[in-house]
Amino acid sequence: MSTIATAPRPQILKDKHRIVSQDEWVTARKELLKKEKETTRLLDQLSEQRRNLPWVKITKNYVFDGPNGKVALAELFAGRNQLAVYHFMFGTDWQEGCPSCSYVSDHNDAALPHLAARDVTLVAISHAPFAKLDAFKKRMGWHFNWVSACESDFNTDFHVSFTPEEQAKGKVYYNYTEQEFPSAEGPGLSVFYKDDAGDIYHTYSTYGRGLDQLLGTYRILDMMPKGRDEDDLPFAMDWVRYHDRYEASQQEFADSDKPYWPEIATGSTRATGCGCTTSSPA
């Protein structure tokens, strides 16, 4: 049975647009191009400001479980100076990783050789035990290094795993603010630099919709006449499935309670990079 992901509702878009001559279309397109170029320059400036942020030296000895046993944060760089860590939502008692994080990781995995050419190693880190991560990685056919922080403070220190005590308060610290959050795990990306002396620095982290920039599929959809076509869904990433499950029914998940998705997401709520709602579009 196909899902909304493979059979979206039909739309009649023609009635919403003026039909014009080629010359009129080019004139309108050039006006939009001016705004696109302005936005590109602003994004270049923003990227420079991001690179100019101050750094924080990492003093805690983070150790993870990996394919060859215990591995330190310094070893995850794999001989390079720059490390990108994708905080993949996969709880300790979950049977599968988050579908939306899997959607992000499909894009990340394809970028590995290109990142390596620019002195960047990309790894994923999750709270679940390594055996679960490894089995899911093999199912999805990914190649990036994926390690477990189940015996480390790493996930809590970077505010992507939340304790029962934190959740009991009704709000957790995520994306640099206290907010309601529907899951014990959250998505994010953190960046680190290791100098020639072996010292490691945290240079940047982004969460929520800051992860949109990782998604080439969204970049293409944003150019399509229907765009992302998510406005009428319960929450923005409700359509996303594991890449090997787009023909499955909506209920076919190993975790029947779908702990990675909000129960209700309506009104002004927006989805973050991994399908968790926030009242802010940021």
What would the pLDDT profile of 57-81 be if each residue is shown by its tens digit? Answer: 999 999 999 999 999 999 999 999 9
- Residue 268 is classified by DSSP as T
pLDDT average, residue stretch 173-187: 95
| pLDDT reading at 246 higher than 80 | yes
Count CB-CB contacts under 10 A for residue 71.
18
**Rounded distance, CA 249 to CA 226, Å?**
23
Which token pair is 124?
Answer: 């994923």
- Residue 161 is classified by DSSP as B
| pLDDT grade for 1, boundaries at 50, 70 and 90 | very low
Of 236 and 140, more confident? 140
pTM value is 0.89
Query: Considering only CA atoms, which of 215, 219, 190, 216 is closest in space to residue 53?
Result: 190
**Rounded distance, CA 268 to CA 266, Å?**
6
| pLDDT grade for 3, boundaries at 50, 70 and 90 | very low
- CA angle (111, 82, 218) in 5-degree steps: 35
**Rounded distance, CA 111 to CA 91, Å?**
25
Q: Which residues contact 105 (CB under 8 A, 6 or more apart)?
A: 86, 88, 124, 140, 142, 144
Max Cα–Cα distance, the chain, nearest Å:
65
Taking a C-beta distance cutoff of 8 angstroms, is the pair 151, 161 a contact? no
Count CB-CB contacts under 10 A for residue 240.
22
pLDDT average, residue stretch 127-151: 98
Q: What is the pLDDT of residue 7?
A: 52
Question: Which residue is it, tokens 């709000």?
Answer: 171
Taking a C-beta distance cutoff of 8 angstroms, is the pair 158, 125 a contact? no
pLDDT digits (tens, 9 = 90+) for 87-127: 999 999 999 999 999 999 999 999 999 999 999 999 999 99
**Rounded distance, CA 100 to CA 252, Å?**
15
| pLDDT grade for 268, boundaries at 50, 70 and 90 | very low
**Rounded distance, CA 202 to CA 47, Å?**
16
Share of the chain above pLDDT 70, in %: 87
Half-sphere exposure of 275 (CA within 13 A, CB side): 26
**H-helix segments, the chain:** 22-51, 99-110, 112-116, 130-140, 154-157, 164-168, 216-221
Q: What is the pLDDT of residue 261?
A: 84
Share of the chain above pLDDT 90, in %: 78
| pLDDT grade for 11, boundaries at 50, 70 and 90 | low
pLDDT digits (tens, 9 = 90+) for 14-28: 778 889 999 999 999
| pLDDT reading at 259 higher than 60 | yes
| pLDDT reading at 212 higher than 80 | yes
Q: What is the pLDDT of residue 158?
A: 98
| pLDDT grade for 280, boundaries at 50, 70 and 90 | very low
pLDDT digits (tens, 9 = 90+) for 192-203: 999 999 999 999
SS3 content of the chain, % helix, strand, coil (to 5): 35, 20, 50
| Mean pLDDT over each residue of the chain, to the nearest integer | 89
